[in-house]
Structure 1
Amino acid sequence: MSAADLHTLTGAYVLHALSDEERTEFERHLGECEACAQEVRELAATAGRLARAVSLPPPADMKSDVLRRIATVRQQPPHAPAPGKSAGGAGRGRQLSRFALAACLAAAAAFGGIAVWQYQRADEAGERAQQAQARSEELARVLAAPDAKASTGRLTDGATGTVVVAKSLNQAAFVAAGMPGPPSGKVYQLWFNDGGTMRSAGLMDPDRGTEAVLLDGPVDRASGIGITVEPASGSDEPTSDPVALMNFPAA
């Protein structure tokens, strides 16, 4: 695979769409190409912000309709720069490609919202969907805040966690990747660490090992977060030893 080909694989790498061989070759390339490494970080952040997009199962005929359209819609050929063009053009092309992929991800999230609006018929369920959408938008504001600072650490069983704090909003978020599922009937509960006193910050989805969570409540003077295993409905205070403790990033 040529170096030019490797430059085009950033989006597929972030979305885990490469074969084992391609992934190994691309990861070697990442160690030598700062432009691709930065692009991967930006795309991964975008995907994380959309992780909580709300949707319902799509209509039963959607898959067959998409496959039918694939057979009739012609893919545009890749643009090849004219001979003599400067290498800067390729850089601009990669930049446009990055924003195009981000736009596609945003469109996918928007489609999820439209699906909820179209197929959620009960008033109570519709209200829950609106609340979830508002929470997703609030999460995105925290992640995108100009003063947002992040700290990443290793969790249990090889999982990783990132804490993002936006002091201007007095809010924080937690992004988990590769979390093992909790025991049956249990859930991971997040806690603010207020000088050794743990204050509930919400529950994680027990069915999702990779998730971005907006922490419930203000940061105030909390110095970090803890994660414990609790009953499915959550607890008023921790009932188990923490599976992880993380400090907030330094100001």
Structure 2
Amino acid sequence: MSTQADPYRDWDVAYVLGSLSPAERREFEDHLSQCPSCAAEVGTLAGMPGILSAVNPGQAIELLDPAGPAPETVPPRPPRPAHSSRRRGRVRFAVGFLAAAAAGAALTLALQSGTIASPAEKATRTTVCRAERD
């Protein structure tokens, strides 16, 4: 089915690199199910994103054109964040859990030492104090 007039013959790289819109992606996937030639081509390109991510942009330019610009002229990749949002969420959860545990421990100690009286204890103390005054 794939011939020179195949309108999808140049979509394989964009598909593998994730550059197609969702609608174009569905359209191309429908085409792939009917065109073994395009499906085979996508299969040969499947490992490219991993390979490309391992190459420094400056090295990639040198590989394409040895007389090209030096690696210093290529802007460096922005650094990845040190912590992912998932890790930050776990840390926040742990800190909140520890804070709640500490507050619970402090409240337990205060109740046991008598600094904080429960409503029943307050009523008993009030009754005893009134009886002593009378």
Question: TM-score, length-normalised on structure 1?
Answer: 0.24
In terms of Rg, which structure is larger?
A: 2
Q: Larger helix proportion, structure 1 or 2?
A: 2
Choose between structure 1 and 2: higher strand proportion.
Answer: 1
When normalised by structure 2's length, the TM-score is 0.40
